[in-house]
Structure 1
């Protein structure tokens, strides 16, 4: 085998450590960013937060977050630097003018000076089991019956359905009990609030709910018969077959169906905690001189600076090991601060570009949404599509119309009769509007919706209408049909 040397010229993209960190910080949602910042503060003694009070003392008129300027916009994440960060790169720059956190600080308990998070004062969501068990303890049941009740409650699922046979429940109790005793206690549980708990299936729960209505309620007996024998026909909205099976008039059937449809069998929702679902928007928008403008949410920004005490130690005569430790942490601290600044600059640039293209949406709503893909914003800002994707994933915008994820404003384009493109989001909105306005006795089929859209200038295939309808969880026309 002959050996030889060859020269080869090639190009490859290498990500610097600073650029990698900038990309990482850019893609983090607000909550995860806060965790990343806290981890950096814990591991790097050169980093510290700038509290709002300290900012005011050091000069409240100083701008701590550099907003991108239209004439000097730099592509923060693609290049790894911005105009703001280039100033920070200078060792003589004022590294203390950096980022500040407006996060709610710890509060003192007033006794002993112990700091306590506000989250400790948030009341715990009561579970369905706790709610029912409290009611059981307030009854005059014997200790044995309360033990049976406790076993039954532990066999309920999150929606309050009983997922065990009575024979199984008897094996869970230490005392000697029979199925009749368990059945008696179960009957009591079915009277507890919320009504319907302890049912084995939907039919039984609906019958329990119907039993709560006054006996002279019109259509009550027929409603019970429908629930017990023909609930499957109600689910498929096969009203013609239901009417024929019951041999009743359309008016009587409509009255009974109205009773059934106004029942609420989902009783577990109010006992599910939603404390973790709060969203803090990253961007706010407001109208300035008739144009919608974006600005970063100051309550969702983190401001850091270098610890001056450690920085000044480099000017003193310290040992080599200590000097290397401080220099290494100083470099990492500067990179982290520049990564944060790069994140905020890029996020604001992307939000401004999105809002510029979607001005009509904020005025008129979903029906005015313009088609837009990642490539459109990437070309406008001279960034890579992956950067735009990172900047929009998990980032939220607060507007007078509500809170939206930035990704919400991206949608594919559909052809129209006048040669312009229509946004898929706008088409979905039109479909929703048509369904809401349709006759319940004769709902629109997917084909009819497609024809109406074409009459309005939108070319949409029937299968596309079906896909959009299903994505909005709208039932087909056969299941939307109603006698009322």
Structure 2
């Protein structure tokens, strides 16, 4: 077979580096975006950021005082990017018109100060010994709280060592999960420590604050608190102790008929014992946990305007970028290295892709608000069915693009903070031939269970029938699935006396 050379022309799709970067930036969350941006700023000297992320951080002044400094307020106007080579200023200027990626006249460039440290909060007044703001004290841990009580209670070094060893074995909730026998086995035999010595130390530790600490299970934790609870009648205290020590499972499952039969009591006595048990804290050590609260920063904000709902980007999460004018002038004069040409192109790509990212987020958010006007006016019960394809067809984008935009992007509304994916939901048929959103059905389930009689809560079948009366065709198992997703307990656990 003879070999020949042939030329053919064909078309195919290719992901350019610029397109790959655009897709990657689009799917990042706000936190991931700023982490990615910090990495790019460190790698590319042609790129600079006008907004200082540490603008509102606490700054230490020369005299040791604390100032809520502003990094950009003390500087003069930034050098416009239009001073760079032709074409670059237009790129960054276009970015500035849309989302403020480049600083115009009057914007600060760096987080520096003018050196005047005296006009801050470090000055002293005549009637105040020291007017400097006080730093927040570090939180006290459960271990430190117990050790402080031990120092004023236990005098013998041997007893202190045993109690400190038990304190170190407590978990974050204040429970002693490790048996005393295992702790005793770890002790060297030459110390001649008996198991009763550990038991005595544990009993003394259980008398410390907070009540219920060093308990070995939930039953013991509740019993320790009930014994120390003041102002409880003797009969009620005994019944509450009997419940937590022997019938805690029945109490948790709300088997009130079994409890009344086992305790030989009526509804009133059982209700009083229930009130005592509910005053207890099953996690006494949780209040000393040092975990910091996580919060979400919205990407878009929705407000009520004169002509309807207005959607705006959150300027606090929009980075302001531009091409470094100094390096751009060096390239214009032919003094730069060849590598800087590539870095200049990468900086221009990033500015363009960053603008495109926020433009797309804003367009998608506006389309969502346009279709969910009833939600913003009346709440979740007025949510209409919505799928990704509907928004994609409206904006002329692909469904995968809408999926990337709505993932880990958040919208601040008058009803609270919601992820953009929250506004999408499947539909449920109605008797009239229409459609109802699954999100609206969940909201109705919350309303129905919230208004139910605690003595006779609504079952899943009853909820399905009540929704059917409103024209929504929904099965009992679907109600159960929605109820579990909303973390609403089943009917047996919602029943009360």
TM-score range, shorter chain: 0.7 to 0.9
Q: Secondary structure at the match of 1:95?
A: helix
Measured in 1, the distance between the counterparts of 2:455 and 2:262 equals 19
Matches within 5 A, 1:352-391: 352-391=366-405
- Which ranges in structure 2 are unaligned for 5 or more consecutive residues? 52-71, 119-134
Change (3 A) 1:56 1:450: farther
Measured in 1, the distance between the counterparts of 2:378 and 2:449 equals 20
Counterpart of 1:82? Answer: none
Measured in 1, the distance between the counterparts of 2:138 and 2:352 equals 40
Aligned length: 445
1:57 aligns with 2:77: yes
- Deviations 1:90-109 (CA, angstroms, capped at 9, x unpaired): 44516364526999969999
Counterpart of 2:55? Answer: none
Counterpart of 1:402? Answer: 416
1:93 aligns with 2:90: yes
1:23 aligns with 2:37: no
- Deviations 1:322-363 (CA, angstroms, capped at 9, x unpaired): 521110110111111111111111111111111111222122
Query: Could you tell me how far 1:132 is from its partner in structure 2?
Result: 2.6
Counterpart of 2:127? Answer: none
Counterpart of 1:351? Answer: 365
Change (3 A) 1:310 1:110: same
1:283 aligns with 2:300: yes
Measured in 2, the distance between the counterparts of 1:296 and 1:126 equals 40
Query: Could you tell me how far 1:22 is from its partner in structure 2?
Result: 1.0
Change (3 A) 1:30 1:5: same
1:248 aligns with 2:250: no
The normalised TM-score by structure 2 is 0.81
Q: Secondary structure at the match of 1:330?
A: helix
Change (3 A) 1:215 1:463: closer
The normalised TM-score by structure 1 is 0.83
Moved more, 130-139 or 224-233: 130-139
1:336 pairs, out of 327, 346, 350, with: 350
Counterpart of 1:36? Answer: 36
Measured in 1, the distance between the counterparts of 2:270 and 2:155 equals 42
1:431 pairs, out of 445, 459, 462, with: 445
2:213 pairs, out of 182, 197, 217, with: 197
Task: Tell me if the contact between 1:103 and 1:299 (Cα under 8 Å) persists in the aligned partners.
Answer: no
Measured in 1, the distance between the counterparts of 2:109 and 2:292 equals 18
- Deviations 1:234-293 (CA, angstroms, capped at 9, x unpaired): 122222222222222222222222322332212343333443512111111111115111
Measured in 1, the distance between the counterparts of 2:218 and 2:110 equals 46
Alignment RMSD, CA only?
3.1
Query: Could you tell me how far 1:42 is from its partner in structure 2?
Result: 0.6
- Which ranges in structure 1 are unaligned for 5 or more consecutive residues? 65-87, 112-120
Counterpart of 1:271? Answer: 288
Change (3 A) 1:7 1:267: farther
Task: Tell me if the contact between 1:233 and 1:239 (Cα under 8 Å) persists in the aligned partners.
Answer: yes
Measured in 2, the distance between the counterparts of 1:22 and 1:427 equals 37
Change (3 A) 1:38 1:155: same
Counterpart of 1:128? Answer: 142
Moved more, 261-270 or 276-285: 261-270
- Deviations 1:122-169 (CA, angstroms, capped at 9, x unpaired): 765543333333333443432222211221122112211111122222
Q: Secondary structure at the match of 1:48?
A: strand
Q: Secondary structure at the match of 1:284?
A: strand
Change (3 A) 1:53 1:176: same
Measured in 1, the distance between the counterparts of 2:143 and 2:116 equals 32
- Deviations 1:160-208 (CA, angstroms, capped at 9, x unpaired): 1111122222345565422222222212221222211111111111111
1:292 aligns with 2:309: yes
Change (3 A) 1:4 1:238: farther
1:262 aligns with 2:279: yes
Task: Tell me if the contact between 1:100 and 1:301 (Cα under 8 Å) persists in the aligned partners.
Answer: no
Measured in 2, the distance between the counterparts of 1:90 and 1:370 equals 46
Counterpart of 2:237? Answer: 220
Task: Tell me if the contact between 2:298 and 2:412 (Cα under 8 Å) persists in the aligned partners.
Answer: yes
Task: Tell me if the contact between 1:132 and 1:192 (Cα under 8 Å) persists in the aligned partners.
Answer: yes
Q: Secondary structure at the match of 2:259?
A: helix
Change (3 A) 1:435 1:104: farther
1:148 aligns with 2:162: yes
Moved more, 268-277 or 422-431: 268-277
Measured in 2, the distance between the counterparts of 1:236 and 1:290 equals 53
Query: Could you tell me how far 1:307 is from its partner in structure 2?
Result: 0.7
2:427 pairs, out of 382, 391, 413, with: 413
